[in-house]
Amino acid sequence: MAKPIVVIVGRQNVGKSTLFNRMTRTYSAIVESIPGVTRDRNYLDAEWEGKKFIVVDTGGFYAEPPGDIFSQIKEHAMFAIDEGDVIIHLFDGKDGLTPSDVELSWLLRSSGKKILWVVNKIDSPKHEERLYNFYKIGAEELWPVSALTGYGYDDFMDKLVSLLPACVEEKIDYPKIAVVGRPNVGKSTLINTLIGKKRMIVSPVPGTTRDSVDSICTYYGRSYMLIDTAGIRKKNRAGYSIERFSVARAIRSINRCDVALIVLDATEGIVEQDQRIAGIVENYGKGAIFLLNKWDIIDTHEDSYKKLTEEIKRKMWFMYYVPVLTVSALEKKRVAKIFPIIDEIIKERKTRIPTADLNSYFREIITKMSLPLYKGKPVKLYYITQVKTEPPAFVLFTNYPAAIKESYMRYMEKVLRDHFQFKGTPVRIFIKARGRKIREKKD
């Protein structure tokens, strides 16, 4: 299911982050917390009145130096124009209208997108007189809100969700494989190789998002939907950040997929943009394979493989469970090995372990663990159960959740993987006590 995207834009200090936090207060897909992801743009899942969507919080527009104003406005506005289904242009009701506000409103209006003009920091009806100055931008309707106190928020959200396009249900029950990665790592070549490979029969299907080109690929009798995001590398416009755009485009495809093929350039090693995209895959709980592409131009295969796998282990530590495969999309080498790994990962993601088997192994584990005291009282681990699949998630019951530190949770994750594999997929572990709130740990 492809979720609509709502983008919040505005200059610095208008309250974008406060509104973002209020809109997404019950959700946990915080990309900011992922290693390697910059803090100037955050993505979160949100829901209002049963409608689900993705909210994007953009960085603020700085008033100084003057030479940077236009470039920053244009970069963020272009992102909003290209990626958002609905744009929220947020103003500061206390500061009033500024030249930066006007400049951004012109760019947004010319986009043809659905735009909500929202004036923040309106705390009560008596403050709504501040709205009149903002009608100068030519808006037919302004929405007064206080992101901090919640004044006007319900009416604003009702209007927002009324503008959202419907989530697209994908009725084709094939594994969905997204090809993601930064520009120029060989995504286009890989897609062309996969759909042109002998014994792969391809038929086009309508893309469910305007960003991707989907194909049904049949390999030895098994069908897959390939979600191609390779076109992102061609979107290079004046004043536009192609690096940030590639992350935004990848969000849509990752949100739809079961397994992501994270394409890396073996000649350049792992860079920050690779970490960002991998972090989004992990955050959304998707399966993954690291593909070291351009292996045909690597001279010392053994030494290079050792060096690159060590680099992956160090920089992609949060996805240590992901298999690594060397390929040459150009020379069509080893690409056929991708599909058996995909099948294995999908099987692992759907694995459900019977509670009896899980706890039989669990009892062996806890006998080897040295549990701490919590305020002078012994900590007990009672039992563990699997609560969902895709990705596999478990709840561990204890008398004192606060006593279970990260080191214990990582140990539990490790022993689960040692015994039950879960190759290529994240595992979610929750700690719970009766009547107490669950705390999540993501591997």
Q: Give yes or no: residues 34 and 99 share one domain.
A: yes
Is 169 part of a structural domain of the chain? Answer: no
Q: Which of 116, 138, 163 is the last residue of a domain?
A: 163
- The domain total for the chain is 3
The reply to whether omega before 378 is within 30° of 0 (cis) is no
Q: Which of 254-263, 343-352, 420-429, 431-440 has the lowest mean pLDDT?
A: 431-440
Q: Give yes or no: residues 132 and 188 share one domain.
A: no
Is 116 part of a structural domain of the chain? Answer: yes
pLDDT of amino acid 165: 86
3-state helix, strand, coil in the chain (%, to 5): 40, 25, 35
- Print the domain residue range for 329: 176-349
- Mean pLDDT in residue range 130-134: 88
Q: Which of 109, 142, 163 is the last residue of a domain?
A: 163
Q: Give yes or no: residues 301 and 184 share one domain.
A: yes
Q: Which of 98, 131, 163 is the last residue of a domain?
A: 163
- Mean pLDDT in residue range 334-351: 95
Element (DSSP H or E) covering residue 441? strand 439-442
Q: Give yes or no: residues 152 and 242 share one domain.
A: no
pLDDT confidence tier of residue 27, bands split at 50, 70 and 90 = very low
Q: Give yes or no: residues 107 and 202 share one domain.
A: no
Residue-wise pLDDT for 388-440, tens only, equals 999 999 998 888 888 888 888 888 888 889 899 899 999 998 888 864 444 44
Q: Give yes or no: residues 129 and 190 share one domain.
A: no
Q: Give yes or no: residues 359 and 344 share one domain.
A: no
Q: Give yes or no: residues 359 and 341 share one domain.
A: no
Is 134 part of a structural domain of the chain? Answer: yes
pLDDT confidence tier of residue 109, bands split at 50, 70 and 90 = confident
Q: Give yes or no: residues 14 and 135 share one domain.
A: yes
pLDDT of amino acid 382: 87
Q: Give yes or no: residues 316 and 360 share one domain.
A: no
Residue-wise pLDDT for 46-101, tens only, equals 889 888 888 887 766 554 534 454 565 556 556 656 778 999 999 999 889 988 88
Are 409 and 431 in contact by the 8 Å Cβ rule? The answer is: yes
Is 170 part of a structural domain of the chain? Answer: no
Residue-wise pLDDT for 210-241, tens only, equals 345 567 777 888 888 888 664 333 334 433 44
Is 149 part of a structural domain of the chain? Answer: yes
d(CA 308, CA 192): 25
Please check the confidence at residue 200 and state whether its pLDDT lies above 50: no
Are 291 and 261 in contact by the 8 Å Cβ rule? The answer is: yes
Is 410 part of a structural domain of the chain? Answer: yes
Q: What is the CATH number of the domain that holds 197?
A: 3.40.50.300
Is 168 part of a structural domain of the chain? Answer: no
pTM of the model: 0.62
Q: What angle do CA 276, 281, 286 make, to 5 degrees?
A: 170
Is 171 part of a structural domain of the chain? Answer: no
